[in-house]
């Protein structure tokens, strides 16, 4: 694969030597060297940008995509997850596994496992969730020496949800932000909306139904 | 003994000259990722270079056949992980071209905004790693590296408050973008842009006319204009050799036709020319960012409703090739759709993959130290090369 | 005290003091470089990182000593010692105060320059004995570079010798009572600049550190050394830098002269040596490195003629001054 057909070694050398400027401009040289050294000296007296990490915490922005968690409904205190498995289907690396448990008024998730060590933190599961059950936290501190601790089951996910601060993004907020402008755009609906088609004409009905 | 399998390596040629075969192996502080260059040296001069790639192959193209149009954009970031927005842009544009999906104006402007910010961030990383390759991890190179990383953190902070992630975003979706600007973001962006302009002037002061830097960069790795046009390189490599070709002007996509910016072209073709091209691109990108912030229209950020299920987006049968001017060159995505929720075939045109083809033409004749300088100015990212 | 005791104790004290200073000089360099790069540097080990060098030393002592299978055993094992010994010897002739030194030879500076040129043997032994192409390439570059820069180093160091009229280091220091040699019009400043440049190059510090170029040769001739042998090589390198800083302070900055009582002399000496060390460090962290052929061109085509001319000019000045006075 060696022989270059378009440019030969001699061509390279010729091109390189043609660019060489003859002679050295000593004052310009000295000035350039001192200018570079002055730049480092200026930075010597600037405040460092690094902080002492565990003692100084960084303020995380509102939309930070950190650890995943399951949350409870605000008004009833029940688990918000209805076991619909939409997050399981949308997850690109398929780290979520859900088992549905049917109930009289609403469904629950019997088992919910999330393999955090393979999670991409892409927020797609948050986006599709119809009940805002799975959310991301404003924290990522879960370094551990045992990978099994990162296989999160439902209880662990609920615990994480109570321990840290939740970020802004929930399913309904993201969907409201992305779609064409709808009528109901303010707060996320508190009840479980009926699984209607995602057409704008369904929007007024959603807000009206109890 | 199988003759064809093992390539012949001449260790010592006793007929006078001494040739050494040295491996600038996949694990190397300046391989820019995982790249193996088998150099044949005569003393300190490189006679031949054989590039071996494939150490980072992760089957992206097959993966795209198993993921839907809603799932793949966040994976697409991982090809060119230094400039993640570019890869997502190419994939999403290809899907939109086949499906003839309209993208709202605000979404187009936001796409341009993040692409240009991403270009600045990618060039900052390029400058830092290139100087570190030339200067050493314990030396002046590291100083410039830490300065550029410090500035890149400002841009990543902006992305973090917009998207929630710092490196691999998932910002694009078919039909628009996923996130709208939060409150106060535009002000923060303007402040960051002002700080960056000042810092870029600092780098120029540190490097321009610096005799050590010029000695390493001037006349090194010259790509002649004929070679540039024949080999198929793109991006700053092409523009540093005198070919005025920038996709944002030659084949305008998204909202680039609405903005006023200059495309820098240098004619000398050496590392210094490519450096100059990228330094001008810094400032031009910041100019575009300011224009976008000034003229950002109101409206929705996506023409498709928000994602409710994984197979929501179906693209009708067709094929398209969408190309983007990324920081490294032309990033292209060729998509064949067949009406389902997953594409039939997707092929990436990696900018770095085609740019690496120029190495065996320009490296022989230089010294070993020039190899790293040239590699740095070619600026490959091996996620794009190996996919 | 018996006659023979002092010459035995003095080197022992000096060696230990030098080793102590060398370890803390690494911390000084790391903090200084960190502040220039907008970061903090070692902070957690001890208050403000003051125990970091101790931690590094303990770590290196506890590391496994890996010897490559195909290495040339005697050469490989002896190389760190052959490299370290001259770097320690150079402190023998440096007087830390009038009358306070290990051996104030009447050819003091000649001894320093000759011994410091001996390290190149150890360096090449390390590169050859490792049986590694990277190490060999680096060792060959090193021999080229150090030999090329020793000549301008010697000539620029000889300029103060001419001005003082003696090879004995304490005489040179005493001759700077009135005016430090660096303040001599034109000659002093030029000699100081050439001395700094050739020191930086002869010690393989950036921008002339082509032989250890991490980004190309991954630690160069040291690449196959681990554990205590690596520690010895590091010790030797920093001791050489420190020795050259002390020499520079003595030749150009007036050694122990400074305001205050006499017993503060060694403290001033240390301060001046640290100033030169920080100057060298500042240069190191500001520039990218240049290629080996450019380094050699700089030495042979620029530095050597200029230092030679400077030496001849200094000789003329000295003769003119003596004939003017007498």
Nearest to C38 among B146, B213, B372 (CB): B146
Query: What's the CA gap between B202 and B147, in Å, rounded?
Result: 10
Verify that B155 and B274 share a domain, yes or no. yes
Verify that B271 and B363 share a domain, yes or no. yes
Orientation of helix A26-44 relative to helix B185-207, angle to 10°:
140
Nearest to A92 among B47, B71, B219 (CB): B71
3-state DSSP call for residue C68? coil
Taking 90 as the threshold, does the pLDDT of residue B190 lie above it? yes
Neighbours of chain A (3+ CB pairs under 8 A): B, C
Q: Using an 8 Å CB-CB cutoff, list chain B residues near C212.
A: 136
State whether residue A90 sits within 8 Å of chain B by CB: yes
Taking 70 as the threshold, does the pLDDT of residue A101 lie above it? yes
Query: What's the CA gap between B199 and C6, in Å, rounded?
Result: 58
Binning pLDDT at 50, 70 and 90, where does residue B156 land? Answer: very high
Nearest CA to A90 out of B173, B160, B61, B320 is that of B173
Asked whether the beta carbons of B317 and B122 are under 8 A apart, the reply is no
Is the bond leading into C207 cis (omega within 30 degrees of zero)? yes
Nearest to C288 among B29, B141, B368 (CB): B141
Phi, psi (5° rounding) for residue C60? -65, -35
Q: Which of A139-143, B31-35, B103-107, B311-315 has the highest mean pLDDT?
A: B103-107
CB atoms within 10 A of CB C23: 17
Residue A187 lies in a domain: no
Q: What percent of chain A has pLDDT over 70?
A: 73
Nearest CA to B200 out of B267, B274, B123, B272 is that of B123
Query: What's the CA gap between C249 and C273, in Å, rounded?
Result: 5
Nearest to A36 among C37, C43, C286 (CB): C286
Verify that A86 and A173 share a domain, yes or no. yes
Q: What percent of chain B has pLDDT over 90?
A: 43
Tokens of B88: 């997502």
DSSP state of C97: B
Nearest to A52 among C32, C43, C287 (CB): C43
Query: What's the CA gap between C162 and C159, in Å, rounded?
Result: 5
Binning pLDDT at 50, 70 and 90, where does residue A9 land? Answer: low
Verify that A36 and A83 share a domain, yes or no. no
Nearest to B305 among A35, A49, A198 (CB): A198
Q: How many interchain CB pairs under 8 A, A with C?
A: 34
Taking 50 as the threshold, does the pLDDT of residue A180 lie above it? yes
Mean of the pLDDT values across residues B166-189?
91
Over the stretch B7-26, which tens digit does the pLDDT of each residue have? 444 344 444 467 778 788 77
DSSP state of B341: S
Query: What's the CA gap between B171 and B165, in Å, rounded?
Result: 9
DSSP alpha helix (H) spans, chain C: 6-36, 52-62, 73-89, 108-116, 119-129, 133-164, 169-174, 187-202, 214-217, 227-252, 265-284, 292-297, 304-325
Domain tally, chain B: 2
How close, in Å, is residue A56 to chain C by CA atoms? 14
At B331 the pLDDT is 93
Mean of the pLDDT values across residues B325-352?
92
ipTM score of complex: 0.81
Best to test chain B binding among A1, A20, A126, A179 (most B CBs inside 10 Å): A179
Q: Which residue of B has its CA nearest to C297?
A: B215
Q: Using an 8 Å CB-CB cutoff, list chain B residues near C218.
A: 28-29
Verify that A86 and A157 share a domain, yes or no. yes
| CB < 8 Å from A in window 92-151 of B | 140, 143, 147, 150
State whether residue B246 sits within 8 Å of chain C by CB: no
Best to test chain C binding among A36, A48, A53, A56 (most C CBs inside 10 Å): A48
Nearest CA to B128 out of B115, B140, B118 is that of B140
Taking 60 as the threshold, does the pLDDT of residue A196 lie above it? no
Verify that B65 and B39 share a domain, yes or no. no
Q: Which residue of B has its CA nearest to C138?
A: B44
Query: CATH number, domain at A156?
Result: 3.30.70.3270
At B16 the pLDDT is 47
Mean of the pLDDT values across residues B324-334?
93
Mean of the pLDDT values across residues B295-314?
86
DSSP state of C51: T
Verify that A163 and A80 share a domain, yes or no. yes
Best to test chain A binding among C41, C193, C286, C287 (most A CBs inside 10 Å): C286
Residues 6+ apart with CB under 8 A from B244: B263, B265
Verify that B155 and B301 share a domain, yes or no. yes
Burial of A8 (0-12, 13-18, 19+ CB in 10 A): middle
Residues of chain C falling short of pLDDT 50: 214-215, 326
Partner-chain contact A37 C283, CB within 8 Å:
yes
At A195 the pLDDT is 43
Q: Which residue of C has its CA nearest to A39?
A: C286
State whether residue B54 sits within 8 Å of chain A by CB: no
What is the sign of the dihedral through the CA atoms of A179, A182, A184 and A185? Answer: positive
Q: Which residue of A has its CA nearest to C288?
A: A36
Taking 60 as the threshold, does the pLDDT of residue B312 lie above it? yes
Q: Which residue of C has its CA nearest to A30?
A: C193
Beta-ladder partners of A172: none
Query: What's the CA gap between A30 and A36, in Å, rounded?
Result: 10
Nearest to A178 among B168, B231, B301 (CB): B301
Nearest CA to B384 out of B342, B335, B326 is that of B326
**Which chain C residues have any C-beta within 8 angstroms of a chain A C-beta?**
32, 34-40, 43, 282-283, 285-287
- The size of chain C, in residues, is 326
At B5 the pLDDT is 41
Partner-chain contact C40 A50, CB within 8 Å:
yes
Verify that B54 and B162 share a domain, yes or no. yes
Q: Which residue of C has its CA nearest to B30?
A: C215
Query: What's the CA gap between C288 and C294, in Å, rounded?
Result: 13
Q: Which residue of C has its CA nearest to B370?
A: C291
Query: What's the CA gap between B25 and B137, in Å, rounded?
Result: 18
Partner-chain contact C282 A36, CB within 8 Å:
no
Expressed as residue numbers, the domain containing B29 is 3-21+23-49
Verify that B77 and B15 share a domain, yes or no. no
Binning pLDDT at 50, 70 and 90, where does residue B123 land? Answer: very high
Asked whether the beta carbons of B170 and B163 are under 8 A apart, the reply is yes
Query: What's the CA gap between C95 and C170, in Å, rounded?
Result: 6
| CB < 8 Å from A in window 331-370 of B | 360-362, 364-366
Query: CATH number, domain at B57?
Result: 1.10.645.10
Verify that B143 and B243 share a domain, yes or no. yes
What is the sign of the dihedral through the CA atoms of B325, B326, B328 and B332? Answer: negative
Over the stretch A111-134, which tens digit does the pLDDT of each residue have? 999 999 999 999 999 999 999 999
Verify that B142 and B15 share a domain, yes or no. no
Verify that A36 and A76 share a domain, yes or no. no
Nearest CA to C247 out of C181, C303, C312 is that of C181
Nearest to C38 among A33, A36, A46 (CB): A46
Beta-ladder partners of B173: B176
Asked whether the beta carbons of C273 and C255 are under 8 A apart, the reply is no
At B152 the pLDDT is 93
Average pLDDT value for chain B: 86
At B116 the pLDDT is 94
Mean of the pLDDT values across residues B131-160?
83
Verify that B44 and B170 share a domain, yes or no. no
Partner-chain contact A12 B365, CB within 8 Å:
yes
At A59 the pLDDT is 85
Verify that A103 and A173 share a domain, yes or no. yes
Taking 80 as the threshold, does the pLDDT of residue B332 lie above it? yes
At B121 the pLDDT is 94
At B3 the pLDDT is 40
Strand A96-101 to A68-70 pairing: unpaired
pTM of the model: 0.84
Binning pLDDT at 50, 70 and 90, where does residue B343 land? Answer: very high
Best to test chain B binding among A5, A90, A130 (most B CBs inside 10 Å): A90
Partner-chain contact B302 A167, CB within 8 Å:
no
Nearest CA to C113 out of C74, C69, C149, C145 is that of C149
Taking 80 as the threshold, does the pLDDT of residue B270 lie above it? yes
Residues 6+ apart with CB under 8 A from A148: none
How close, in Å, is residue A40 to chain C by CA atoms? 6
State whether residue B142 sits within 8 Å of chain C by CB: yes
Partner-chain contact B147 A15, CB within 8 Å:
no
How close, in Å, is residue A29 to chain B by CA atoms? 6
Tokens of C282: 């500042």
Nearest CA to B367 out of C124, C203, C296 is that of C296
| CB < 8 Å from A in window 291-330 of B | 300-310, 312
Three-state secondary structure string covering chain A? CCCCCCCCHHHHHHHHHHHCCCCCCHHHHHHHHHHHHHHHHHHHCCCCCCCCCCCCCCCCCCCCCCCEEECECCCCCCECCCCCCHHHHHCCCCCEEEEEECCCCCCEEEEEEEEHHHCCCCCHHHHHCCCCCEEEECCCCCCCCCHHHHEECHHHHHHHHHHCCECCCCHHHHHHHHCCCCCCCCCCCCCCCCCCCCCHHHHHHHHHCC
Query: ∠C202-C159-C291 over CA atoms, to 5°?
Result: 25
CA distances from B320 to B97, B103, B346 (A): 6, 17, 10
Query: What's the CA gap between A78 and A85, in Å, rounded?
Result: 18
Residue A208 lies in a domain: no
Query: What's the CA gap between C222 and B289, in Å, rounded?
Result: 48
Nearest CA to B21 out of B48, B1, B2 is that of B48
Query: What's the CA gap between B165 and B145, in Å, rounded?
Result: 22
Q: Using an 8 Å CB-CB cutoff, list chain B residues near A200.
A: 305
Nearest CA to A70 out of A114, A26, A28 is that of A114
CB atoms within 10 A of CB B224: 18
Verify that B110 and B243 share a domain, yes or no. yes
Partner-chain contact A48 C285, CB within 8 Å:
no
Taking 50 as the threshold, does the pLDDT of residue B140 lie above it? yes
Expressed as residue numbers, the domain containing A9 is 4-44
Q: Using an 8 Å CB-CB cutoff, list chain B residues near A179.
A: 300, 302, 304-306
Domain tally, chain A: 2
Verify that A35 and A114 share a domain, yes or no. no
Query: What's the CA gap between A13 and B269, in Å, rounded?
Result: 13
Verify that B236 and B248 share a domain, yes or no. yes
- In what side-by-side order are the strands of the sheet with B45-52? B19-24, B36-42, B45-52
Partner-chain contact C286 A37, CB within 8 Å:
yes
Verify that A115 and A25 share a domain, yes or no. no
State whether residue A137 sits within 8 Å of chain B by CB: no
At C172 the pLDDT is 87
At B2 the pLDDT is 41
Verify that B12 and B112 share a domain, yes or no. no
Cα Rg of chain A (Å, integer): 28
Partner-chain contact B308 A89, CB within 8 Å:
no
Partner-chain contact A124 B230, CB within 8 Å:
no
Q: Using an 8 Å CB-CB cutoff, list chain A residues near C283.
A: 37
Nearest to A40 among C40, C43, C282 (CB): C282
For residues B97 and A58, the model is more confident at B97
Query: What's the CA gap between B72 and B88, in Å, rounded?
Result: 9
CB atoms within 10 A of CB C184: 20
Partner-chain contact C36 A37, CB within 8 Å:
no
At B135 the pLDDT is 72
Q: Using an 8 Å CB-CB cutoff, list chain A residues near C35.
A: 43-44, 48
Verify that A21 and A80 share a domain, yes or no. no
At A50 the pLDDT is 84
């Amino acid at each position: 694969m060696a022989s270059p057909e378009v440019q030969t070694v001699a061509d390279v050398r010729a091109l390189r030597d043609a660019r060489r400027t003859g002679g050295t401009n000593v004052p310009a040289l000295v000035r350039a060297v001192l200018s570079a050294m002055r730049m480092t000296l200026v930075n010597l007296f600037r405040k460092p940008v690094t902080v002492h990490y565990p003692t100084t915490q960084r303020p995380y922005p509102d939309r930070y995509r950190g650890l995943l968690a399951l949350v409870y409904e605000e008004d009833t205190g029940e688990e918000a997850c209805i076991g619909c498995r939409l997050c399981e289907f949308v997850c690109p690396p398929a780290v979520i596994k859900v088992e549905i448990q049917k109930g009289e008024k609403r469904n629950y998730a019997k088992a919910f496992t999330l393999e955090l060590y393979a999670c991409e933190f892409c927020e797609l599961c948050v986006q599709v969730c119809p009940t805002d059950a799975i959310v991301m936290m404003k924290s990522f501190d879960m370094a551990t020496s045992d990978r099994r601790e990162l296989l999160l089951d439902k209880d662990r996910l609920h615990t994480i949800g109570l321990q840290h601060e939740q970020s802004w993004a929930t399913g309904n907020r993201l969907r409201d932000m992305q779609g064409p402008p709808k009528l109901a755009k303010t707060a996320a609906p508190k009840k479980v909306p009926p699984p209607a088609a995602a057409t704008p004409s369904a929007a007024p009905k959603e807000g009206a139904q109890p | 003994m199988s003759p064809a399998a093992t390539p012949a390596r001449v260790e010592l040629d006793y007929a006078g000259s001494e040739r050494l075969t040295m491996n600038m192996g996949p694990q190397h502080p300046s391989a820019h990722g995982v790249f193996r260059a088998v150099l044949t040296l005569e003393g300190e001069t490189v006679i031949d270079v054989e590039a071996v790639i494939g150490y980072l192959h992760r089957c992206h193209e097959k993966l795209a056949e198993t993921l839907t149009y809603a799932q793949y954009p966040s994976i697409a970031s991982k090809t060119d992980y230094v400039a993640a927005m570019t890869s997502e842009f190419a994939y999403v544009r290809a899907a939109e071209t086949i499906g003839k999906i309209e993208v709202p104006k605000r979404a187009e402007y936001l796409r341009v905004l993040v692409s240009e910010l991403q270009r600045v961030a990618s060039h900052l990383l390029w400058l830092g790693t290139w100087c570190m390759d030339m200067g050493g991890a314990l030396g002046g190179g590291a100083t410039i590296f830490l300065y550029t990383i410090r500035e890149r953190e400002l841009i990543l902070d902006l992305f973090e408050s917009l998207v929630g992630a710092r490196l691999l975003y998932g910002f694009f979706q078919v039909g628009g973008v996923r996130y709208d600007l939060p409150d106060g973001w535009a002000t923060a962006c303007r402040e960051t842009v002002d700080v960056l302009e000042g810092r870029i002037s600092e780098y120029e002061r540190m490097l321009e006319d610096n005799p050590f830097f010029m000695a390493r960069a001037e006349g090194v790795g010259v790509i002649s204009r004929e070679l540039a046009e024949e080999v198929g390189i793109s991006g700053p490599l092409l523009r540093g050799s005198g070919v005025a070709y920038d996709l944002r002007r030659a084949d305008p996509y998204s909202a680039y036709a609405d903005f006023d910016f200059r495309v820098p072209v240098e004619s000398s073709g050496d590392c210094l020319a490519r450096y100059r091209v990228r330094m001008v691109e810094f400032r031009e990108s910041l100019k575009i960012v300011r224009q976008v912030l000034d003229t950002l229209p109101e409206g929705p950020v996506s023409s498709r409703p928000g994602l409710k299920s994984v197979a929501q987006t179906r693209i009708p049968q067709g094929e398209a090739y969408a190309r983007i001017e990324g920081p490294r060159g032309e990033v292209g995505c060729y998509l064949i759709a067949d009406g389902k929720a997953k594409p039939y075939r997707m092929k990436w045109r990696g900018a770095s993959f085609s740019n690496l083809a120029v190495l065996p033409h320009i490296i022989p004749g230089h010294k070993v130290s020039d190899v790293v300088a040239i590699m740095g100015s070619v600026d490959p990212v091996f996620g794009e090369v190996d996919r | 005290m018996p006659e023979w005791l002092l010459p035995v104790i003095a080197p022992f004290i000096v060696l230990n003091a030098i080793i102590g200073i060398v370890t803390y000089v690494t911390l000084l360099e790391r903090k200084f470089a960190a502040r220039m790069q907008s970061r903090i540097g070692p902070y957690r080990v001890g208050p403000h990182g003051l125990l970091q060098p101790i931690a590094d030393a303990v770590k290196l002592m506890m590391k496994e000593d890996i010897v490559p299978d195909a290495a040339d055993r005697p050469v490989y094992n002896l190389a760190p010692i052959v490299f370290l010994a001259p770097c320690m010897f150079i402190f023998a002739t440096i007087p830390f105060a009038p009358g306070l030194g290990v051996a104030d030879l009447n050819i003091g500076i000649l001894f320093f320059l000759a011994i410091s040129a001996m390290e190149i043997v150890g360096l090449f032994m390390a590169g050859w004995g490792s049986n590694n192409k990277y190490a060999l390439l680096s060792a060959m570059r090193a021999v080229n570079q150090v030999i090329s820069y020793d000549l301008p180093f010697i000539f620029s160091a000889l300029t103060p010798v001419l001005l003082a009229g003696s090879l004995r280091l304490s005489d040179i220091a005493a001759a700077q009572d009135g005016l430090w040699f660096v303040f001599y019009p034109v000659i002093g400043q030029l000699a100081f600049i050439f001395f700094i440049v050739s020191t930086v190059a002869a010690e393989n510090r950036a921008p002339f550190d082509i032989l250890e170029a991490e980004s190309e040769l991954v630690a160069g001739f040291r690449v196959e050394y681990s554990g205590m042998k690596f520690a010895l090589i590091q010790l030797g390198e920093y001791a050489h830098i420190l020795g050259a800083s002390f020499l520079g302070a003595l030749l150009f900055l007036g050694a122990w002269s400074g305001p205050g009582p006499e017993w503060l002399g060694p403290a001033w000496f240390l301060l001046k040596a640290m100033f030169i060390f920080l100057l060298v460090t500042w240069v190191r962290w500001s520039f990218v490195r240049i290629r080996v052929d450019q380094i050699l061109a700089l030495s042979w085509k620029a530095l050597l003629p200029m230092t030679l001319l400077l030496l001849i000019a200094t000789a003329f000045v000295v003769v003119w001054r003596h004939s003017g006075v007498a």
